[in-house]
Amino acid sequence: MILLGIETSCDETAAAVVDDARTIRAQRLLSQLDDHAPYGGVVPEIAARAHLEHLDILVAGAMADAGLGFADLDGVAATAGPGLIGGVLVGTLTAKAICAVHDLPFVAVNHLEAHALTARLTDDVAFPYLLLLVSGGHCQLLAVEGVGRHRRLGGTVDDALGEAFDKVGKMLGLGHPGGPAVERAAMSGDPERFDLPRPMIGRPGCDFSFSGLKTAVRQAVEKRPPGPLDPTDVADLCAAFQAAAGDVLVDRCRHALALFGRPGPLVVAGGVAANTYLRARLDSLDVPMIAPPIALCTDNAAMIAWAGLERLRLGLTDGLDFRARPRWPLDEDRRPEVPPAPTDEL
């Protein structure tokens, strides 16, 4: 079984071809970082126009790299939400057009489920497993019990961790995207110089809160002398913020593991999972920790193709009238009931 996957949910335009032997036969990705950097964040209209301009070229390139024609595919999968609706529409309409012309099944993929299932592509992880999904728009803990079967244990009550990283990077003058810049600056910083809060640590449950931590960084900046921050101040604040975030993640995941009731594994996915410091902190938990390769933590089309393949081999497809969704909670999949996981995954 071979699928083409299309990803256009935010500011990466991507196409990939993946088969059921867990082989990524081809993948093409175009980042829009330079387009959005002058604005300090992603501009939805610019993102949608870039997807529209480049997606066809990337699809053709991925198919050529894989040495396949559309007749060789078993289906086409595309991110149908959640995400910036303009970009999501570009991807889903392109996928639907290919399916209509070549009489192929269409699979509408929940972008969050694609992140959730990436570890099955890269590491062949069996169900069930505990998932920490951390990205610019999402921060939640879920028990992944099967394809389309996700039980939410906790989530953020305000900012997602990736959003907090980006906002801290922006207030410290590190530009967009802030997350990778904060991680780089933190490498030379002293994490103990600034005393920052650890929101939610010690409280029952598995929820997160990062707004107060972000505000504490802003207050620390305001207490510094007027003018540009000293590079040492920037590095130390980044290190302190990252250390606080790591403490919070470890505490919340420890609570989630107790609720999960199994000795792992803990799968970490989403753009923030590319942060090597946070990976190391989570690896300190006494359970197997699995994180996909960094290139597959951020948005990509290989994970979309794989999630589509997982659904297709269970006989789950979507009509060409499926409507793209800007919001799509992972634990509220409003589609036909997903069959129980096979017995070898229990």
Length of the chain, in residues: 346
pLDDT of the residue at 336: 43
Residues 290, 163 share a domain = yes
At 332, the pLDDT band (50, 70, 90 cuts) reads low
- State the pLDDT at residue 342: 45
Q: What is the DSSP letter of 337?
A: P
**147 and 195 inside one domain:** yes
**pLDDT single digits (tens) 171-183:** 999 988 889 999 9
Q: What is the average per-residue pLDDT within 252-263?
A: 94
Rounded distance between C-alpha atoms, residue 259 and residue 118, angstroms: 23
* Pairwise CA distance, residues 286 & 264, whole Å: 9
The mean pLDDT of 1-5, rounded to a whole number, is: 98
Would you list the DSSP string of 134-191? ESSS-EEEEEEEETTEEEEEEEBSS--HHHHHHHHHHHTT--SSHHHHHHHHHTTS-T
Over range 118-126, report the average pLDDT: 97
| Across 215-221, average pLDDT | 96
122 belongs to a structural domain: no
| 273 and 322 co-located in one domain | no
| 266: amino acid identity, one letter | L
pLDDT-derived band at 343, boundaries 50, 70, 90: very low
pLDDT attached to residue 333: 52
Looking at the structure, do residues 305 and 334 belong to the same domain, yes or no? yes
- What are the two backbone dihedrals, phi and then psi, of residue 54, each rounded to the nearest 5 degrees? -110, -20
- State mean pLDDT over 140-159: 95
Average pLDDT estimate for 42-51: 91
Note whether 302 and 289 are same-domain residues: no
Q: Does residue 206 carry a pLDDT above 90? A: yes
- Tally the domains of the chain: 2
Q: Inform me whether the pLDDT recorded for 305 exceeds 70.
A: yes
Say if residue 45 is exposed, middle or buried (CB neighbours under 10 Å; 0-12, 13-18, 19+). Answer: exposed
Categorize the per-residue pLDDT at 98 as very low, low, confident or very high, splitting at 50, 70 and 90. very high
Identify which of 77, 139, 96 has the alpha carbon closest to the alpha carbon of residue 268: 139
**What pLDDT, in 10s, does the model give residues 276-297?**
999 999 999 989 999 999 999 9
Give the structural domain span for 323.
2-117+297-345
Q: Does a structural domain hold residue 173?
A: yes
Q: Are 265 and 327 within one domain?
A: no
Tell me the CATH number at 256: 3.30.420.40
Using the predicted structure, report yes or no on whether residue 339 has a pLDDT greater than 80: no
Same domain, 229 and 138: yes
- 264 Cβ contact partners less than 8 Å away, ≥ 6 residues apart: 129, 130, 257, 287, 288, 289
Same structural domain for residues 23 and 113? yes
What is the rounded distance in angstroms from the CA atom of residue 97 to the CA atom of residue 255?
A: 45
pLDDT over 70 percentage in the chain? 96
Neighbours of 137 (CB within 10 A): 18
User: Are 278 and 327 members of one domain?
Assistant: no
Distance (Å, whole) CA 270 – CA 268: 7
pLDDT score, position 228: 83
pTM: 0.91
Q: How many CA atoms lie within 13 A of 82 on its CB side?
A: 12
Residue 27, pLDDT > 80, answer yes
pLDDT > 80? residue 157: yes
Looking at the fold, whether 222 and 318 belong to one and the same domain comes out as no
Task: Please give the helix or strand (H or E) that residue 110 lies within, else none.
Answer: strand 106-110
Whether 143 and 283 map to the same domain: the answer is yes
Buried b (16+ CB within 10 A) or exposed e, 167-201: bbbbbbebebbbbbbbbebbeebebeebebebbbe
- Looking at 294, 315, 333, the residue that finishes a domain is 294
